[in-house]
Amino acid sequence: MVYHALRQNPADKRLAFVWPSLDNEQKLTVLDVVFNAIGIDHWRQELDFEPDDGDEVFGHFADKLSANTIVDAYIPWLAKVVKRGLTRGEQDALKRRFRSVCVWAKETKTDLGKVGLADALENASSHVTFAGRKGKVESDANPVVYRFDDGFKIVQLKTNAALEREGKLLKHCVGTYCEKVRKGTSVIYSLRTPSNEPLVTLEYQPEAKRFMQMFGFENEKPEPSERPYLIEFVETNFPHDKVGLFLAGKPAKDIDLEGANLTDADLEGADLTDANLRGADLEGAYLGGANLRGAYLGNANLKGAKLLGAHLEGAHLEDAQLEGADLEDAHLEGAHLEDAQLEGAYLGGANLRGAYLGNANLKGAKLLGAHLEGAHLEDAQLEGADLTGANLTGANFGNANLKGAYLTGANLTGANFGKANLEGADLEGANLEGVKYDDDTIWPAGFTPPPPARENPIRRRLRR
C-alpha cells in the first residue's frame, strides 16, 4: 500500500527508505509525483492549509493512500531519485511517466535500484505493456490513425472516457472537449509512446481546416524529441495546413505562411522570426510575447489581435490592419507601419523608436507612455489619439493630423510639426523645447507656441 510504502519499506529491502531525511520541498515533490500516478488530481486545492509541510500533507491524504497500487513498491526508488536532486524538466517527466516506469519495472522484473532516472524514463516510453501486446490498448472507438517506424503512434480520441483520461494524465482541459468532438467541430489526436503513454494532444478543426492546438503536459509546448513525430504526421496527412506544421515544431522561416488562416490562433511566445505572413489572417490571434522580428506582415489582418510584449523590431507591417489590436509594451523599434490601420489600437508603453508610420491611421489610438523618439509620422492620422506622457523627442509630424489629440505631459523636444494640424489638441504640461513648425502649422485656439527652433548657422554654412 502507498501508505505503508511511505512509512516503511517492506517492498524492497535493498533501497534505504529516505523519507525522514528529505526536506519539505523534496517530500512535496515525492507526494506530487505519487498523487499524479494514483489519480489524486488537484490535491493542493483540497487542502485548507498552505501545502508547505510534507508530513502534514501526507497525513491529510493518509486515508486515500491505503489502497494497493502498482506504484507502491517503487516509491523508495522515487524518494531516492528526488533526494539526489531534479531539474524542472526531470520533475515534469517523472510526474508524467512514473506510473509507466512502475509498469515497465514490474512487467520486466527490473531492479530499479540499479537503473538511473534517464534510463528508466526511456525504457518506460518504449515498453509495450502486456495489455498492449494483447491488443487491449487499441479499439475501434479510439483508433490508431498513424504509426511510426519505432512504435510511436497517433490515436484519435473519440470517446468521453478517452478524452477525460487524456486530460487527467496530461493535466490539461481536453476532457472538457467531449461535446465538441461529438458535434464534429473538433477532432482530437494524441501522440503516444509504444506503451500507449500520451505525450501531446492535438486539436484539429475541420471547418477551419487546420490544427488549433498542440500541447503536452500542463499545456507545455511539445518537447524537441516529440516534434519530428508531429511534423511527419502533419506533412503526411494534412499537407495543406501550414499552421499545423508550425505548431508541430517546424521553424516558421521554413514555412510559407503567406495568406494563411490564423484567426484566433494561440501563438503565445511563438518564434515567427523572419516569417512570411503577408496577407495572413491573424484576426483575434493571441501573440503575446511572440518573436516577429523582421517578419513580413504587409496587408495582414491583425484586427483585435493580442500582441502584448511582442517583438516586432524591424517587422514589415505596411498596409496591415491593426484596428483594435492590443500592442501594450510591444517592441516596434524601426518597424515599418506605413499606411497601416491602427485606429483604436492600444499601444500603451510600446517602443516605437525610429518606427515608420507615414500615412498611418492612428485615430483614437492609445499611446500613453509610448516611446516614439525619432519616429516618422509624416501625414499620419492621429485625430483623437492619446499620447499622454509619451516620449516624442525628435519625432516628425510633418503634415500630420493631430486634431483633438491628447499630448498632456508629452515630451515633444525637437519634434517637427511643419504643416501639422493640432487644432483642439491638449498640450498641457507638454515639453515643446526646440520644436520645429512653420506658418502652415495649426495650433490649438489661444495657444501660443514657443519660438521655433533655429537652424544652427554653422550647419547652414557647411551645406553651401
For the chain of 464 residues, list the mean pLDDT of each consecutive stretch of 10: 47 53 88 79 74 79 67 84 87 83 86 87 73 50 89 93 91 93 95 90 92 90 90 92 90 89 88 94 95 96 97 97 97 97 97 97 97 97 97 98 97 97 97 95 94 60 49
pLDDT reported for residue 244:
92
Helix H or strand E segment including 441: none
Contact present, 450 and 432 (Cβ < 8 Å) = yes
Contact present, 158 and 174 (Cβ < 8 Å) = no
pLDDT reported for residue 34:
84
Rounded (5°) CA angle 144-204-166? 55
Q: What is the pTM of this model?
A: 0.67
Cell of 100: 509507466
pLDDT reported for residue 44:
76
Q: Where are the alpha helices (DSSP H) in 143-189?
A: 160-170, 178-183
Contact present, 30 and 75 (Cβ < 8 Å) = yes
pLDDT reported for residue 12:
41
What lies within 8 Å, CB to CB, of 457 at 6+ separation is none
pLDDT reported for residue 137:
46
Residue among 94, 92, 121, 87 at smallest CA distance from 105: 121
Residue among 358, 366, 345, 372 at smallest CA distance from 318: 358
